[in-house]
Each structure stands twice: as structure tokens, then as C-alpha cells.
Amino acid sequence: MRIPLSAPDITDAEIAAVTQVLRSGRLSLGPQLDAFESAIAQYTCTKHAVGVSSGTAGLHLAIRALGLKEGDEVILPSFTFIAAANVLRYERITPVFVDIDHLELNLDANMVEEAITPRTRAILAVHTFGRPAEMRTLQSIAQRHNLFLIEDACEALGAEYRGKKVGAIGDVAVFAFYPNKQITTAEGGVVVTQDSELASRVRSLRNHGRSNSGDWLQHAEVGYNYRLSELHAALGLPQLRRIDSILARRDEIALSYNKRFQSESSLIRPLVRDHYKTISWFVYVVRLRDEVDPSHRERIVGAMAAKGIACGRYFPPIHLQPAYVALHHRPLPISELAGARTIALPFFNHITEAQLDEVAETLRSLL
């Protein structure tokens, strides 16, 4: 693609940091990981951060560390990346999908309570596209029903809800650093929490369930190889140091797109400002209006690709995926409506004004 959907923002500082680790001979469980975890904890205003091999691994470990087990239920949106549901099924936990709100495309907090059953143990709130979920209401529901509140903040590093960083609101949260995220470690993620005991268990589980005795071959429980290497951590440190400028640039791009589409009546543009939420832009997603035939989306995406412009379809609802269709029976009309009409446009730090013009002009002409 001439204009990709996403692209990592790598500078000489990141290259130098990774090269230094390669020359050090210490490639795992070393000072770079310690420094990266400390920096993430400080940035997110949490007490503990545990680096892991991916956001998916982090979500899996969060579920395990909370003690959720077979037969439990967890409430989550269907309009999200499939990993959020997959990690539940790893543990034979039942995902209970709830619809999203039409405006922000986050979990509809008003519909969560009616989905709670005696088997419900947790709410998994996703900060979709970097926009914080309605955490005050979800916290209240979780406290009222004695449920865990898990934040899937994989798309939302730096976002804030009522002046508080996402990740520091629920019982545990997970961030991800895949190359399309705000900052990247190539592959990787981190689990953050205020709970020392929970953090200690996640730290053990990511490293084959090793005990805290210091004996490398002593294992307290069945664990996983979900470690984050020194190379990945070294890449993440200079990225995190630039997070403020990165987020400012992404906000600028989102505003620029919004201006270009302000007169396009067939599109729903994302909200770019909220009086009590700060968005951390992961992607810029427009939607065809509800009255537009959803088949137009496929023709538009195909035509854009033919012109060398990459677009995404975020997100096909999980409950409609072949691996899940037999497990779900609750109607989710907003999720299905949005899933058939979203178009993610090229969105990355180094996109140029000329590229933004070309994307916007091409999409308008196709509409």
C-alpha cells in the first residue's frame, strides 16, 4: 500500500537502545525490563507494572491471577478485538456479550446490570479505539455486585477518565504495544495494578509459575512463558519518553481528518473532544450512517485498496465470528450495525498533509 493503515514511529534513539542491549549480552529479565516496568507504572499512576509478551498474554494472566475459573461468567463487549473473549475461553470461562452505545462504541454501561447472573465474576471494560469507557457507572455496578473490574486498555495508553489515567481505575488493567499502537515494543504488553499480591502472581505466572524462592527450577504453579525480553523493553523506553508528543500528533491528525469530513453527510465522524475524557487516538474510524447500505463499505474499502490506500474494518463483532456464533444468543443490534459500517482510515504519526488530502478526497469521491 502506498498509504498504509498504520506504521510505527521509530527513531535513532530506539535503534541505539536496542543495539546497546544486543551488545550487553543480557537479553532477558534484566535492567531494561525493570526500567520499562517502573516507567509504565509511574506514567499510569499505578503501583505495579509487569511486562509480558503481548496484550493477549496480559489479559490471560489477569484472568488467571484474579482466580476466575471454569463456569464463571465475564461481561464484555462483542465490538472489540477477539483476544478479549479468547482469553476467557482459555480458562473455560463464559463470555457474556453486552451491546455498545451508539455514540462512543464502548460497552453500554446501562445494559451491563441486566446481564449479571449468579455466575458473573467480572466486567471486562474495553477502552475502544483509545476512548475511555464509562468507568464511573461500571465501577458502581462492580462494587454493588462484588465483581472484579478489568480494564482492557490495550488501545488506550495515555487516555484519561475524569482526570485519572485509564489503567488506574479498575482492579487490574492491560496495555499492548503491537506496532500499530501509540507506542510499540514490536510485540509486548504490560499488566498494571495497585494490588501487590496480584502483581506478584502475574509476575510468577508469566515466568512458568516460578516461586519467589529464587530457585530458577522451583515452580509454585502451572505458568506460562509470557516474558517480555530486554530487547522489547529497550525499544519501549524511548518510545514512552516521547508519549506526550506522540499523543499530541495523533490528536492533531484526528482533528485534521474531522475537518476534512465535516460536510460529508453520509458519514458519522468520531467525537474528538469530551469534557471529562481525554482520548488516546489508536485509530481514526468513520462510520457509514445507519440508512446507508452496508454493502457500500466493502466496495469502498476495495476501491481504496485498488488505489494503494489501506483501510480497516474495525471491528467485526465477536459473537458473529465462526468460533463464537454457537455460544451467543443475546441480540446486539448496535454492535452489528457498527461492525458492518466502520472504516478505519490510514492513521500514523508521520502521515503527511498530502496523504491526508488524498485519503479524504478519495473517500469522498467514492461516497
Residue 3 lies in a domain: no
Q: What is the pLDDT of residue 212?
A: 75
Q: What is the pLDDT of residue 328?
A: 74
Residue 5 lies in a domain: no
Q: Which residues carry out catalysis?
A: 181
Residue 253 lies in a domain: yes
pLDDT tens across 193-211, in order? 999 999 999 999 999 999 8
pLDDT tens across 73-106, in order? 999 999 999 999 999 999 999 999 999 999 999 9
Name the residue among 226, 171, 200, 172 with its Cα closest to residue 57: 226
Q: Is the pLDDT of residue 260 over 80?
A: yes
- Average pLDDT over every residue of 22-33: 97
Name the residue among 174, 90, 185, 104 with its Cα closest to residue 137: 104
Report the DSSP beta bridge partners of residue 126: 152
pTM beyond cutoff 0.85? yes
Phi, psi at 247, each rounded to 5°: -65, -35
Q: What is the pLDDT of residue 93?
A: 98
Q: Is the pLDDT of residue 109 over 90?
A: yes
| Whether the Cβ atoms of residue 347 and residue 179 lie closer than 8 Å to each other | no
Residue finishing a domain among 241, 256, 286: 241
CATH number at residue 118: 3.40.640.10
* Residue type for position 319: H
Residue 59 lies in a domain: yes
User: Residue 20 is part of which domain span?
Assistant: 12-98+105-241
Residues 273 and 158 in one domain: no
Residue 25 lies in a domain: yes
% of residues, the chain, pLDDT over 90: 95
Residues 191 and 296 in one domain: no
Residues 201 and 228 in one domain: yes
Q: What is the pLDDT of residue 330?
A: 83
Q: Which residue is listed with cell 516507567?
A: 39
Q: What is the pLDDT of residue 63?
A: 98
Residues 37 and 84 in one domain: yes
Q: Is the pLDDT of residue 183 over 80?
A: yes
Band the pLDDT of 236: cuts 50, 70, 90: very high
Residues 254 and 221 in one domain: no
Residue 288 lies in a domain: yes
Q: What is the pLDDT of residue 112?
A: 97
Tell me the average pLDDT of the chain. Answer: 97
CATH number at residue 307: 3.90.1150.10
pLDDT tens across 295-328, in order? 999 999 999 999 999 999 999 999 999 999 998 7
Distance CA 132, CA 58 (A): 19
Residue finishing a domain among 214, 241, 268: 241
Residue 7 lies in a domain: no
Residue finishing a domain among 206, 241, 276: 241
Angle between helices 353-366 and 295-306 (to 10 degrees): 140
Band the pLDDT of 279: cuts 50, 70, 90: very high
* Residue type for position 5: L
Residues 230 and 176 in one domain: yes
Question: How many separate domains does the chain show?
Answer: 2
Residue 51 lies in a domain: yes
Residues 137 and 257 in one domain: no
Contacts of 137 (CB under 8 A, 6+ apart): 109, 110
Tell whether omega for the bond before 97 is within 30 degrees of 0, i.e. cis.
no
Q: What is the pLDDT of residue 329?
A: 78
